[in-house]
Structure 1
């Protein structure tokens, strides 16, 4: 059964009965009496009945239009007044005056100017009113001189006599000229005569809104809403102010009123989005802004907020598209420009971000928020000196800004200045009363420096900021874990999960402890605990699937990934991981289907297109791969990452010239884009174009004088030519520019090749002492000590590395081998078995554990592991020697001889060469 409002039925019935029983004149008189009593709805009903009987009566239309104006229903008034004018009613200009008001009530400023015109036949009052409304429209459109002209004409029309709408036009002009005080004085003068005059209250609210007094603006909007409870502007203005003041419940009440009065109006959806955005509900805010744009695609501020919502949700690519549209239409809006630059920096398009900010950065205006982003951009570009300049400038302008202080810490960390980074993060944490990334970095850097006391102190400071926060409690457990106190760490993590069952990091940490102790099933249950609290927790599903995958349980992993993809259809992670497993199983058609699904759901995502290209590559369809990446470039022509991805596909297809062109395009977009620099250099070396490689290195040194990359490439050309002594100096220059552990390790390697082993080792020791957190350099030192036979020294260094990275299977493996060489078989086995639990398919780990099993006489297990290792490391003579030993042990002499021949014939040195030669002699037929 169709439901119809009973009140509507009664109203319609009333109109029918009225029209049947009373004349138009009678109904008009009743309407006037209802109007005099303030009963506007009843007056409207009587007038509509009258018009039904006399539809060509223009005077009735005029009166009804005025009633609608009195009820602030400009759209309905416009309809009736248009009909009155079409019927030829002039009324000495009073119809046009009412029409001007109807258009003004709707905010139709251009229509007011185009349609509300005066005539010499109009009476002075009507002329003044029409001119005043035209003046208000000119002021709203920014045409102040024409607004002043309208004001002068209106004053002249009434011989200077005062009229509220004319006086309020003068107030409007004063506001436009920046004199809010004078404007408010005019408004209050008008209100002395009529305190509840809508026009005065509306203009007062507009004036107060422009001041910094938010509470006064709320009061002004409240006064207006008492007169007109569903006023669109007042509801929007007050709800905006409430949300800025954090009074979200009151803001929501105004939004609900908007929904009831203007359900399908785009402003209703926009304001709903604004309130949700202020509350931090970015997902639902985004949906509201998208509804706004579906109704009004040209709503610029909805486009801005759409972009910002995407940005805060971590969708930088989508944010960039929305913000690009906004800035192209409103290039002078600094917020839009700043948000666009932020998105571009997150997309590693820092050069373009600097282009977007250039007008502001070059203006000389004090804009520390832009200086901060410029610091970020130059940091990502590798120009650390310029980054430091902009961040220093920003800090001088805002010395108490914790975000800037934290970014200085990140910059110092990039420059290898861990001590300065620690100080910066400490300042940032102190300045920020709430938890921030600086607090976390302070803990982690102290852990890296093995300063457990300060790490604990930093955690305690975090606990004061956020008592009971699971993140902080988890970090306290991490400190215990790094100290080797696994039992205490496990207690902390278990308490976190007891209080917050879906807190995944604690479950991951417990799983790490379980795996180190060989408790595989217990580790799995940790993830299942999280899923019991949140069955569709995407990260838990992905991690558990990865766990099953490492154990070779691919079918179980697929079930979990299908579940994640179904629960999170727009997420790329589950499908990407699923495609990887399907490729591993050789199910290429299924892999292609999943990759195509990812592209359909994420048509503008570079990652989705890369996934599809990956499938095409494994299928051997190189041309399809190149075409897919070409499509990626078409979607993101200014993205250096897209050009690099295309170059990678072109190189794989043998299209070296095209690959070089793509890489140079990437570098044209961003000179310091490291992936493009590295791939172009590799391409030139691969083609043996050493002159071009040297020229490229020189170009980088000239264009990026503060970057180490040009010096590194210069050194690597010399290494490729085996001119090791010539490579040392540019590598040392690079190390001066970027004091990182990776570079220190590489300098050591090159100096050893150049015959400077002894002094190189001494310098490496000093480096590790000065930079205790540089694990790569420490690992290099341990490796060097192993080669010298200093096994006790190597054990000491590997232990430090493993304590800093307890989940690193290579660190555990190397420590196991060092213990073995030092004669400690018990510890060697413990760490080797721990390494295999962390990485069961790692060939280096299998080689170590297999050899240790062989030493213990556990031949079957040794053979299985050494066979796996040798099959994956055919170019490592020491691994093939180990496999040969176990083959000889079980009497398989022919395969053993083949393995030994391969090891000795490789031309590569290895420490057990003499033993390999001796074993081969014993196996000769």
Structure 2
């Protein structure tokens, strides 16, 4: 090739290469320009597309990467934005904008060393960087280095006199020092310095609310609303203030104005609906929730708000249908999936709910609510240890999850791990000292630990937090009754009854205290008084008749006791306690044949009545006619599959005299679902667990039963058996000996003696 030709070829290649570079630069610039225009117009999704196209051309341009990161921030893609800012930092470790954004991220994530490292780099390069200085001050505040923080904020204000963040920070420091006038001055200056006074006025209003200067707070919020007549958010802030101060008329007016300003957006309607919800105007709330949901069928958030309201208002079928519709459109929406499981739990479909949650857990292994609801499933299924494990995981994932901590405290209490129950309740109280239920759980655990003074203090704290709730008075009365301080218990029970006269626990304690003091007429009067309260509820009236029967038994008036029990059975055929007491009376009278004849006559007249089969089975079992008894227990359950009394007794029969332990446990769980607080049911399910070899569960149930009937020799015997199988022989010997002290002739006494001898021999 001639030299001239070679020169021409090189020139052509250079021109083509330069042309390609120019085209790429032009395309990149065009994408960035469009992206900037979309960003300014707040069309962030379109801006994202343009910036991404530019990045495909040049992925090393830090300015471009920062623009894309800022766009992700606007669209809520925080993890992606963080990754981009981190990428810029790797490309340019001195890039102030990237360092600033990362410092803010780390601070919000409470990672103070990482925050401080970026701040130091920024301030080394730019000592007067306002964002870095403000963050430095905030880090020092979080470290409780208040004096050092003050110096930083003062320096910042020297650089920019009207820096709103620094003014607010200085106000907080002054308020912490009880220098409220100086704090107020800083907050007022922040309002004066703000371009958009909304946030500054809201902070000043909150300061006034905390200082009980409600007129001044109202003035600031009204000014904010007047300054922004076309912005519904300001009316909502004002409405929330009025709601908090119980000025419901003004609150409603403000929320209605918000709807008038923005009539076509779900948010304002949801806020107004929420107001009607909390003020008890449920029909108005439902109407507005429905209207808000209808504005945008694709708005799953509003649809979920409606579904949750329907669920709370016991409109379960409608809530379930709405959740199904939401999941059809968004099958992976975790809130909807969790709510579906919550509905299934309310329907006692625990395994179905658990299956859903386990599937969701694979997608979201760090979702604390998934673990919480798994715990509820396990509780419903009677799996206490797995429940504790799941709820503990929820707490690990979110330590300030008070709902989970309360549930965990309750689980530990039921497992008789009282110290752990105290720890969890105490953690809740540290997070929020006004959680009523936390004091209840801790007080109960303290009582179980015999820490009487601590329990008393917690019950008194409940009364202090909410003097209109009866539970605090009842628990304090229960404590005083246990100490035989009946004169102190009486006024507390009277107060509890005046606040809620439908609590059967209050009636029971009032009656038992009267009986303990031989005040039988007063005990009967209390029952007669309660009968009027329960006039529209046959089940509760049956409970009162059962209570009166116990009073008559304490008076040795067997005839009247029997009459009251029969009245109870007539009112509520599925109420367990009267059958048990009636059977004991018949056995004591040795009038088995007469009783059997009565029940057989009832069966002849109507074979579809379950109670006569139940009572007949009890008497047949007392005669050791177990096969015949089983037939009638099963007949009762055939008529009514949820018949707790029959399920309980048949369960114990199967567990003690057959090898059908799985069926025995299933039946015991039916009884427990209906009567979770009945001590005889606790004993039955405990015995079924014992026969299944689940000794830990058995111990927990027997201990629960003994809390309610500590002098029951048979239950103590069962507890001794369970301890023995667990390998806790000293505890076993103690319980077996206690059983024999209580009654030397109970069924199983000889076996108890033999087992004690075996333990003694080692």
For normalisation by structure 1, the TM-score amounts to: 0.41
Q: Which has the higher contact order (CA 8 A, sep 6+)?
A: 1
Larger of the two Rg values belongs to structure: 1
